[in-house]
Amino acid sequence: MENKFYPFPTDFWWGSASSATQMEGASTQGGKGENIWDYWFQEEPNRFFNGVGPGNTSNFYEQYKEDISLMKELGHNSFRLSISWSRLIPTGDGEVNEEAVTFYKNVLNEMISQDVEPFVNLYHFDMPMAMQRIGGWESREVVQAYVRYASICFELFGDLASKWFTHNEPVVPVEQQYLYGNHYPAECDFKKAVQAGFHSVLAGAKAVKVFKEKGYKGEIGVILNLTPSYPRSNHPEDLKAGNMADLFFNRSFLDPFVKGEFPSELVDVLKTEGFMPEIQEGDLDIIANNTVDLLGVNYYQPRRVKAKENMPNPNAPFLPERYFDHYEMPGRKMNPYRGWEIYEKGIYDILVNVKENYGNIPCFISENGMGVENEDRFLNSEGQVQDDYRIEFYKNHLKWMHKAIEEGANLKGYHVWTFIDNWSWLNAYKNRYGLISLDLDNGFKRTIKKSGEWYKELSIQNGFYDGESVK
């Protein structure tokens, strides 16, 4: 077999991503306020896999120096972290917590000293509980509090970071808090979902406006989980189902953040169904005039859909699935642990779409990864996880990214999920995603996996050989 080399552009961003709640730990220390995860774990610990809550994460709060050293060792030239709104401003809209300011300045300075560029995200599913009590993203007050929080972050840390992101996957809180019941407050209310989604977009645009008007250095973007919607067939009703899924889950955020407008088809559906959000005068102008500079794309799996098999119950709560059914493609390749399909070409299809329909905005893959259970099965005699399956997963996605770049996609980097095995919202440590394994029973011991060594070579070579494996 030919050992083909896949090179990537000069100055490509190689790194990984995580979030404050999933990585920091110290959830009740350092003056941090309560967020929705802290609260929900106290109220309903049974919702969390093995009863493991957000207090028991990979301890970055204490071990950030060691971790940033390891990032450097793995060839990272960049890393995306998030600031915890409830750590920085414990009530969401009150006094700034000076211990948090010191912590984040120390982290950012340490990253800079190790030549790992900070990509700073402002919101990753972790609404301060005080803000949720007044409605969370449903509330106009929370939009203003978020914009104040973003402004404070730019002011405090703007000289230490030049890549900023308003949200990670803003569609997820909309889906999981207000439609499918997987995140607190676990409601099923489409009207609230639409209002929360609109306010997330508005809050993002207002943060962009502050960033630009104050003249902070660098770029401000958004991280979206773009999940291509593949119809079962070319039958008109299947195609219509695919289009509707795309409107609800992708274009609802991609269009306003990048183009400054909501898709007219989506607006028509919301009007027809009676779910238009409350919009104040000037809101749509703010969204139109404050689009992002940079797009992060999270990709894990495709969405496959088909025309409805049965008429929906007209009296049931409205869900996007009123317009399509999910479809299981025969013979699909699966990650059996996560229950997700592995479809590498999806990453190419996203990049082609962004190139052709979104002005070829500068973008990067901001998350891509494979969660596997019981990785201790794959330990060698030296105690290293031999995760060849993860290396294969990365390679097969990188090949499609390489093809997209050759065809003109404006792709700037690849961040995997994640740097170190981390706590996941409801699944705790059920599925491991890290380049580094975490031993929770042995003082949070970190051990580089085989994939971590491979990732280092990838970064050093700025590309990879198809036939090679790390020795």
Which of 175, 367, 375, 453 does the annotation list as catalytic? 367
**367 labelled catalytic:** yes
3-state helix, strand and coil shares in percent for the chain, rounded to the nearest 5: 45, 15, 40
Q: Which helix (H) or strand (E) holds 223?
A: strand 219-225
Q: How far, in whole angstroms, is CA 442 from its chain's centroid?
A: 29
Round to whole Å and give the CA distance between 427 and 424.
5
The predicted structure's pLDDT at residue 339: 84
The predicted structure's pLDDT at residue 467: 73
Q: Are strands 334-335 and 325-326 parallel, antiparallel or unpaired?
A: unpaired
How many CB atoms lie under 10 A from the CB of residue 240? 16
Give the C-alpha distances (Å, rounded to integers) separating 51 from 82, 401, 427: 24, 38, 9
Q: Which of 51, 48, 55, 53 is nearest to 27 (CA)?
A: 55
- C-beta separation of 293 from 219 below 8 A: yes
Strands (DSSP E) along 63-197, which ranges? 78-82, 117-121, 163-168
Residue position matching structure tokens 């699909």: 332
| Rounded (5°) CA angle 80-209-281 | 130
Token couple for 399:
């090949």
Q: Which of 400, 399, 398 is nearest to 352 (CA)?
A: 400
The predicted structure's pLDDT at residue 471: 42
| Rounded (5°) CA angle 23-28-31 | 105
Residue stretches of the chain with pLDDT short of 70: 1-2, 468-471
Token couple for 412:
């700037």
DSSP string, 245-286: HHIIIIIHHHIIIIISS--HHHHHHHHHHT-PPP--TTHHHH
Round to whole Å and give the CA distance between 61 and 439.
17
| Alpha-carbon Rg for the chain in angstroms | 21
Q: Which of 462, 465, 348, 342 is nearest to 405 (CA)?
A: 348
Token couple for 382:
């030296």
Round to whole Å and give the CA distance between 141 and 280.
13
Please, what are the domains in the chain?
5-465 (3.20.20.80)
Round to whole Å and give the CA distance between 73 and 238.
48
Token couple for 468:
């090679």
